[in-house]
């Protein structure tokens, strides 16, 4: 079978550390000279926000939102304009980030916590494990939300976060940064820090049995609370001042929730700024590769859990240790399957017998007019255990094809999205439209959805049954089929 794109090439890494990354020097000790080894490999910081849509980041053109520290990171580094998760669901997306394998291959088909109980296969080799084996110090703080621990093992847990826990440290990103300071001070060897916030995920209360409760009778607080958080100068937003994206309804209920969402994002931004300050204070900033991204799109129906653009096209900012083109915008199309191969490449680590579905974009980060990076693939299986709705996607520059494998079923709603004030207002007022889609079209989907993103960026005009686009559909169906074959998709024969 001919490989249709290098984006889905199975890359085989061979267990090895590049010798030019570890340099020998001579130093005086006592009466003679003794060799010392200096590891010149960069530190790596991976910042993962929870449900941060690209439409609510200042440097991505969002007016009125205060994300000055994230914007500064983009000014110091490279902003990717076409970066995509492969599944718009928390645990599955994080599993792809940390393994380079699609969720349908690594086993993390849905959420990790409570009754959902999904986990990656014991044979999977993740990024922190591979970096530790290569001599990196590894630590995590905040939300992990993948399992099992031995597959996603970090040497240090600076402060663990619990899913849907109102008291989680992930709601206080500035405090998270403070907990990282002692780890950042150590300079004996390069480090990998996984910094994962709960912001700006929807907040909840907890029932006596431990299950999360989302109250749809009022705007969600998105973790915001009276009195704020330590060392955070809260930014407050008025509903009238927010920008309502096209996929959402311009209603009072939605605007009230967006105002709260904005505030949570600004708190997240403050934590990013404090972490950057600590990297500079400890002398580590200039030798640290920093990646900022989100696991999936915003926590609203129409984004999170869907593979429409608001769910999968996300912010991705990369600050190189020695940047040459500050403020550069990279147009190459990358996906979260490419992140682990890229970070291993920066560390000079090659791991044999460990196939990856992504490829390293290290060499093209600051490159202009990149070719060969013009499509990405996505695979969604479940979110909650009851939310069976597998989808496969190929997304090109112009066209996007969504294959709804279980199209006979209504599209399932996540607990936090169904009980959102925004969605409940639509149901209460019996509105037919949700954003630019009808409610019926959102909940009941055909087998295939084809969109021309040049003429229809909001993905509302399905061209899949239009005879004029028969060849486009056939060509892209073939690509999806080959993607399924090459990634050993269990749904290939469905």
Mean pLDDT along residues 54-77 = 97
pLDDT value, residue 351: 65
Q: Determine which one of 90, 180, 254, 316 is catalytic.
A: 90
> Considering only 31-40, 66-75, 132-141, 477-486, which range has the smallest mean pLDDT?
31-40
Q: Other C-beta atoms within 10 Å of 121: how many?
A: 13
Closest CA to 288 of 324, 320, 241: 320
pLDDT value, residue 18: 56
SS3 372: coil
pLDDT value, residue 43: 98
- Please compute, for residue 55, the number of CA atoms within 13 A of its CA located in the half-sphere on the CB side: 21
Pairing of strands 349-350, 137-142: unpaired
90 is an active site residue: yes
pLDDT value, residue 461: 98
pLDDT value, residue 30: 43
Using a cut of 0.85, tell me whether the model's pTM lies above it.
yes
With a CB cutoff of 8 Å and minimum separation 6, the contacts of 13 are 341, 344, 349, 350, 351, 352, 354, 356
For residue range 223-235, what is the model confidence (pLDDT) as tens digits?
999 988 888 887 8
Prior bond to 161 cis, omega within 30?
no
Q: Please state, in angstroms and rounded to a whole number, the distance separating the CA atoms of residues 82 and 313.
A: 7
pLDDT value, residue 153: 97
CA 426-264-339 angle, to 5 degrees, is 100
For residue range 74-96, what is the model confidence (pLDDT) as tens digits?
999 999 999 999 999 999 999 99
pLDDT value, residue 240: 97
Mean pLDDT along residues 311-325 = 97
Residue 438 near residue 432 (C-beta atoms within 8 A): yes
With a CB cutoff of 8 Å and minimum separation 6, the contacts of 436 are 246, 247, 458, 460
pLDDT for 212 beyond 70: yes
Q: Please state, in angstroms and rounded to a whole number, the distance separating the CA atoms of residues 213 and 204.
A: 5
Give the containing element (helix H, strand E) for 91. Answer: helix 90-99
pLDDT for 214 beyond 80: yes
Tokens of 372: 């060969």
Percentage of the chain exceeding pLDDT 90: 82
CA 425-428-432 angle, to 5 degrees, is 85
Mean pLDDT along residues 122-147 = 96
> Considering only 112-121, 327-336, 426-435, which range has the smallest mean pLDDT?
112-121
The two counts, helices (H) then strands (E), for the chain are 12, 21
């Amino acid at each position: 079978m001919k490989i249709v794109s290098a984006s889905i090439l199975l890359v085989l890494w061979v267990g090895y550390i590049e010798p030019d990354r570890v340099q020998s020097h001579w130093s005086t000790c006592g009466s003679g000279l003794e060799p010392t080894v200096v590891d010149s490999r960069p530190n790596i910081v991976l910042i993962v926000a929870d449900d941060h849509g690209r439409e609510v980041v200042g440097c991505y053109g969002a007016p009125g939102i205060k994300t000055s520290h994230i914007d500064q990171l983009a000014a110091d580094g490279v902003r990717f304009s076409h970066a995509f998760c492969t599944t718009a669901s928390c645990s599955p997306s994080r599993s792809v980030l940390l393994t380079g394998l699609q969720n349908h291959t690594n086993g993390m088909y849905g959420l990790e916590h409570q009754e959902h109980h999904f986990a990656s296969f014991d044979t999977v080799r993740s990024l922190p494990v591979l970096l530790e084996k290569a001599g990196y110090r590894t630590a995590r703080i905040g939300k992990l939300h993948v399992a099992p621990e031995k597959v996603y093992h970090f040497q240090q847990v600076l402060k663990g976060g619990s899913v849907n826990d109102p008291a989680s440290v992930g709601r206080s990103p500035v405090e998270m940064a403070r907990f990282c300071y002692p780890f950042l001070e150590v300079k004996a060897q390069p480090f990998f820090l996984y910094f994962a916030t709960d912001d700006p995920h929807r907040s909840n209360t907890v029932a006596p049995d431990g299950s999360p409760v989302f109250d749809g009778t009022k705007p969600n607080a998105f973790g915001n609370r009276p009195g704020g958080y330590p060392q955070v100068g809260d930014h407050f937003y008025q509903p009238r001042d927010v920008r309502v994206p096209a996929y959402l309804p311009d209603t009072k209920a939605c605007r009230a929730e967006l105002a709260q969402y904005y505030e949570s994002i600004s708190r997240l931004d403050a934590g990013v700024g404090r972490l950057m300050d600590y990297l500079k204070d400890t002398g580590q900033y200039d030798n640290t590769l920093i990646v900022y991204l989100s696991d999936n799109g915003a926590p609203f129906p129409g984004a999170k859990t869907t593979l429409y653009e608001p769910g999968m096209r996300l912010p991705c900012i990369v600050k190189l240790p020695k940047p040459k083109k500050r403020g550069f915008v990279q147009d190459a199309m990358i996906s979260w399957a490419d992140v682990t191969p890229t970070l291993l490449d920066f560390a000079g680590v090659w791991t044999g017998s460990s196939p990856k579905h992504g490829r390293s974009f290290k060499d093209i980060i600051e490159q202009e007019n990149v070719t060969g990076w013009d499509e990405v693939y996505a695979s969604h299986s479940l979110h909650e255990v009851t939310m069976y709705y597998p989808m496969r996607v190929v997304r090109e520059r112009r066209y996007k094809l969504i294959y709804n494998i279980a199209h006979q079923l209504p599209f399932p709603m996540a607990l936090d999205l169904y009980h959102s004030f925004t969605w409940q207002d639509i149901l209460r007022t019996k509105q037919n439209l949700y954003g630019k889609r009808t409610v019926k079209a959102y909940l009941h989907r055909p087998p295939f959805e084809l969109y021309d993103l040049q003429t229809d960026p909001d993905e509302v005009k399905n061209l899949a049954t239009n005879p004029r686009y028969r060849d486009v559909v056939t060509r892209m169906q073939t690509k999806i089929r080959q993607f399924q074959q090459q990634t050993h998709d269990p749904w290939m024969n469905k």
